[in-house]
Chain A
Amino acid sequence: MAVDITLLFRASVKTVKTRNKALGVAVGGGVDGSRDELFRRSPRPKGDFSSRAREVISHIGKLRDFLLEHRKDYINAYSHTMSEYGRMTDTERDQIDQDAQIFMRTCSEAIQQLRTEAHKEIHSQQVKEHRTAVLDFIEDYLKRVCKLYSEQRAIRVKRVVDKKRLSKLEPEPNTKTRESTSSEKVSQSPSKDSEENPATEERPEKILAETQPELGTWGDGKGEDELSPEEIQMEAEIDSIHQLVVGATENIKEGNEDIREAIKNNAGFRVWILFFLVMCSFSLLFLDWYDS
């Protein structure tokens, strides 16, 4: 059992203070002691690293509160016995999903930024280690909150699939399955749900056949939980790659134009040279004939 001797400590501080006063020893402060403390603290670089880290944490906390607040409604609204008060439309849910994703993306970007900046001006090994560890903690916190989100999503998707499976009939042949599989896979996961709903109306049987194996892997949504922060990253990367590809195509087009121009110029230049040489030789012949 540990014993708290903080009060004892404070009492000793008082004792020492009175003793010093009695002895007339100059204490480092005295009356100005408290003011001195404040003075001493503020000129110290308030560590913008830690204040920004705390900002990120408060953001993530807000996200977590937001998710927890709406969680009940998000999940429960499938039971139709609920009153109107608790219902949530699908658009609202999509909105929540989108907002959450944007939030998560900004948070992870902020963390990345902090990571690159953390090592810039600092020379001490210990401070570097400390900051790396702090960033690891924040990332871990973000992951845990993302897990909340992906659990919710997984439940929702599972319910949609279950509902479709119950209400639809036999599976279609394989060819159409393959089509829908490829088209489904190309679209990104967040928009999967919104696409699924219109798609289901048109091709119910394909969904049934191809979600069966997928459901096995989703099972308890575990795979998705672990993948969503990576999914966000992948999305960002895919976007940037897309941009790069577009830029490269443009460059190539321009390059082709330049080459064509160059070839044309080259051709024109050759014609002129030939003409010049021929004229020179003719003029020589003429002069030769003229002189002889």
Chain B
Amino acid sequence: MAAAAAATAAAAASIRERQTVALKRMLNFNVPHIKNSTGEPVWKVLIYDRFGQDIISPLLSVKELRDMGITLHLLLHSDRDPIPDVPAVYFVMPTEENIDRMCQDLRNQLYESYYLNFISAISRSKLEDIANAALAASAVTQVAKVFDQYLNFITLEDDMFVLCNQNKELVSYRAINRPDITDTEMETVMDTIVDSLFCFFVTLGAVPIIRCSRGTAAEMVAVKLDKKLRENLRDARNSLFTGDTLGAGQFSFQRPLLVLVDRNIDLATPLHHTWTYQALVHDVLDFHLNRVNLEESSGVENSPAGARPKRKNKKSYDLTPVDKFWQKHKGSPFPEVAESVQQELESYRAQEDEVKRLKSIMGLEGEDEGAISMLSDNTAKLTSAVSSLPELLEKKRLIDLHTNVATAVLEHIKARKLDVYFEYEEKIMSKTTLDKSLLDIISDPDGTPEDKMRLFLIYYISTQQAPSEADLEQYKKALTDAGCNLNPLQYIKQWKAFTKMASAPASYGSTTTKPMGLLSRVMNTGSQFVMEGVKNLVLKQQNLPVTRILDNLMEMKSNPETDDYRYFDPKMLRGNDSSVPRNKNPFQEAIVFVVGGGNYIEYQNLVDYIKGKQGKHILYGCSELFNATQFIKQLSQLGQK
């Protein structure tokens, strides 16, 4: 049993750690990295393409790159000068243009030695192209190592990953669901997704059991992934799942479960207005790859006529795992976040005062004889204060960061009345009675057209029976008056018709929100978080459709929704088309992958769900990460056809 526990622990090493370790090993010339405090410095240059950049930037900061000995990091397709006597580490995707550029580099003899690392596996013919160029440039010995890294996915959190950021139009919801897609295009899209998922499982070091719903894009992905895993396992010599990584997968009852779902199961969640910190930041601000870009207007210019326009400073912040406040509060409801920032600020001020007090005590030295005896224990205090100074400064920086971000979010909330929409949508989705009719809200002059469209779409999606024609016309007219584009509605109608044929629309479970009335002031006057007029809504735990499906599959519950899901086990020798799961035990680890796009609301929901269960882990992945604005855009493009 101890071995099994160790195996669980190994399997639960977060995907972020594994990817970081793999990257560090690659940067260390593919030799495992050992920290040596008196080691000689070794320097190198890192060359990446945009894919590589997206993979590295959430995981390693520039300082960490420096620590690994990287003096310069450059884009592959930029102008690069020859730097003699320095080894270069390449981290690129094996595409045609990248290979051409690399061959050009070899011909121009830019660096002393080349360590080539390909993000996903390179084909034999492309490898020969490079060999050709190396021969032509007489640089064969300079190419020191060539590796296939199998890192073709982006890890954003310890338990969340995304497939790609650069070419996300290729695998977007729209690309998969558009009516005029050809078979070959679909194949390419599926291949891209499967390649990334395969790389993910190689890095994770486990072979999953796959379950997916029938008749969707997810099924196609599952079939291909199963085939690819199976081929790789059969090839005993080159199998990627042997060696020390097998430790995690050796005990069959510890294998993870991969649940492939399609976005079409639940279109309401991406449109939903949200109330937790991370999801709000993603919804309202410009948030990519853990980086927030804020535009701050630097105060109002007082001169009336001929006034200069408000200067907007652009600031960007990285929200990283080192940021303890973020890790603790990214799933909390927004008012809680505001309170916590205030608390952190107060505790920081208290510590600052403590240090100042010590400083004044130190000033007594030399004047008072008695002070000398006090010195020894004050010196101890001083040393501890000095050593805690960097910590204090870091804390201050984080508080500033979160104050800025939260203020920006709060402004948006107040301007767009997001709390009202949130409450209303929760009521719609839980089918409780509505105190204000939908038409009233839509015809209300406040509120952006986009928010109203979202609200209406959610209503449309979650009603059991479609509204009558007259009602629909009324709504449409109100929406057009408010300035909304009606294309998304077209698409949703089609979707609804389609899913009605397939199965009953998903219900969202019961939920209640308890508005704590209009909170006039949550903070004291010194703070900026005056939450006047913003309701303090408390979220009650609800399970989104995706979470429910996961729950059923993981706990082996029988449920009409999930009973006819297909079952694939790449390790089984024979055919794979049995719908009868061989494994009767509940799974300890699961990976949920949404084909067609996901968002932070689902992620947060899954995290909350798994918090209640001891010893179980969930990883959430999606082919792309979009917020409601982007999703509406895609829907309207689909509706236009």
Which residues of A are interface residues toward B (Cβ below 8 A)? 1-6, 8-9, 12-13, 15-17, 20, 27-29, 33-34, 36-37, 40, 44-47, 50-51, 57, 61, 64, 68, 124-127, 129-130, 133-134, 137-138, 140-141, 144-145, 148, 174, 212-213, 216-217, 219, 222
Q: Which of B128, B137, B144 contacts A15 (CB 8 A)?
A: B128
Instruction: Tell me if B561 counts as interface (CB < 8 A to partner A).
Output: no
Q: Which chain B residues in 73-116 approach chain A with CB under 8 Å?
A: 74, 80-81, 83-86, 109
Closest residue of chain A to B205 (Cβ to Cβ) is: A1
In the complex, how many residue pairs between chain A and chain B have their CB atoms under 8 Å apart? Answer: 148
Contacts of A5 in B (CB 8 A): 122, 127, 146-148
A213-B376 contact in complex given A1-B205, A12-B124, A141-B40, C-beta closer than 8 Å: yes
Instruction: Tell me if B45 counts as interface (CB < 8 A to partner A).
Output: yes
Q: Which of B37, B148, B369 contacts A3 (CB 8 A)?
A: B148
Q: Which of B83, B130, B141, B145 has the most CB of A within 10 A?
A: B83
Contacts of A125 in B (CB 8 A): 81
| Minimum distance in angstroms from B570 CB to a CB of chain A | 17
The reply to whether A2 and B74 form a contact with Cβ atoms under 8 Å apart is no
The reply to whether A213 and B147 form a contact with Cβ atoms under 8 Å apart is no
Identify 24 residue pairs between A and B in the complex whose beta-carbon atoms are under 8 Å apart, listed by A's number.
Answer: A1-B202, A1-B240, A2-B117, A2-B147, A3-B238, A5-B127, A8-B124, A9-B131, A9-B143, A13-B131, A13-B140, A16-B131, A33-B140, A45-B84, A47-B84, A124-B81, A126-B74, A129-B72, A133-B43, A133-B71, A145-B38, A212-B376, A216-B379, A219-B379
The reply to whether A1 and B203 form a contact with Cβ atoms under 8 Å apart is yes
The reply to whether B45 and A130 form a contact with Cβ atoms under 8 Å apart is yes
The reply to whether B109 and A40 form a contact with Cβ atoms under 8 Å apart is yes
Instruction: Tell me if B69 counts as interface (CB < 8 A to partner A).
Output: yes
Instruction: Tell me if B215 counts as interface (CB < 8 A to partner A).
Output: no
Q: Which of A1, A140, A148 has the most CB of B within 10 A?
A: A1
Instruction: Tell me if B135 counts as interface (CB < 8 A to partner A).
Output: yes
Contacts of B149 in A (CB 8 A): 2
The reply to whether B41 and A50 form a contact with Cβ atoms under 8 Å apart is no
Sorting the interface of chain B by its residue count into under 10, 10 to 19, 20 to 34 or 35 or more gives: 35 or more
Contacts of A36 in B (CB 8 A): 138
A4-B147 contact in complex given A9-B131, A13-B134, A141-B40, C-beta closer than 8 Å: yes
Docked CA distance A187–B594 (Å): 72
Instruction: Tell me if B243 counts as interface (CB < 8 A to partner A).
Output: yes
Instruction: Tell me if B150 counts as interface (CB < 8 A to partner A).
Output: yes
Docked CA distance A51–B379 (Å): 46
The reply to whether B205 and A141 form a contact with Cβ atoms under 8 Å apart is no
The reply to whether A12 and B137 form a contact with Cβ atoms under 8 Å apart is no
Instruction: Tell me if B580 counts as interface (CB < 8 A to partner A).
Output: no
Q: Which of A37, A46, A127, A144 contacts B141 (CB 8 A)?
A: A37
The reply to whether B38 and A148 form a contact with Cβ atoms under 8 Å apart is yes
Contacts of A57 in B (CB 8 A): 40-41
Docked CA distance A133–B135 (Å): 32
B239-273 CB mask vs A (1 if < 8 Å, else 0) is: 01001010000000000000000000000000000
Instruction: Tell me if B415 counts as interface (CB < 8 A to partner A).
Output: no
The reply to whether A9 and B130 form a contact with Cβ atoms under 8 Å apart is yes
Instruction: Tell me if B579 counts as interface (CB < 8 A to partner A).
Output: no
Contacts of B143 in A (CB 8 A): 9
Q: Which of A9, A17, A37, A126 contacts B146 (CB 8 A)?
A: A9
| Minimum distance in angstroms from A24 CB to a CB of chain B | 15
A134-B369 contact in complex given A9-B130, A13-B131, A27-B136, C-beta closer than 8 Å: no
By Cβ-Cβ distance, the 6 closest A-B pairs, closest first, are: A216-B379, A133-B71, A137-B41, A50-B85, A124-B81, A12-B131
Contacts of A68 in B (CB 8 A): 38
| Minimum distance in angstroms from A128 CB to a CB of chain B | 10
B379-407 CB mask vs A (1 if < 8 Å, else 0) is: 11001000000000000000000000000
A4-B145 contact in complex given A47-B85, A126-B81, A134-B43, C-beta closer than 8 Å: yes
| Minimum distance in angstroms from B233 CB to a CB of chain A | 14
B429-442 CB mask vs A (1 if < 8 Å, else 0) is: 00000000000000
Instruction: Tell me if B601 counts as interface (CB < 8 A to partner A).
Output: no
Contacts of A174 in B (CB 8 A): 369
Docked CA distance A36–B140 (Å): 12
Instruction: Tell me if B474 counts as interface (CB < 8 A to partner A).
Output: no
The reply to whether A8 and B127 form a contact with Cβ atoms under 8 Å apart is yes
The reply to whether B150 and A129 form a contact with Cβ atoms under 8 Å apart is no
Contacts of B369 in A (CB 8 A): 174
Docked CA distance A197–B166 (Å): 69
Q: Which of A2, A129, A148 has the most CB of B within 10 A?
A: A2
Interface-side segment among B22-30, B278-286, B351-359, B583-591: B22-30
Instruction: Tell me if B66 counts as interface (CB < 8 A to partner A).
Output: yes
| Minimum distance in angstroms from A130 CB to a CB of chain B | 5
Q: Which of B83, B134, B140 contacts A130 (CB 8 A)?
A: B83
Contacts of B117 in A (CB 8 A): 2
Docked CA distance A212–B365 (Å): 14
Contacts of A127 in B (CB 8 A): 81, 83
The reply to whether A133 and B72 form a contact with Cβ atoms under 8 Å apart is yes
The reply to whether A144 and B38 form a contact with Cβ atoms under 8 Å apart is yes
Q: Which of B71, B138, B145 contacts A37 (CB 8 A)?
A: B138
The reply to whether A27 and B135 form a contact with Cβ atoms under 8 Å apart is yes
List 16 extra interface pairs beyond A2-B30, A20-B135, A217-B383, CB under 8 A: A1-B245, A2-B149, A3-B150, A5-B127, A5-B147, A15-B131, A16-B132, A17-B135, A37-B139, A44-B109, A46-B84, A57-B41, A133-B43, A141-B41, A174-B369, A213-B376
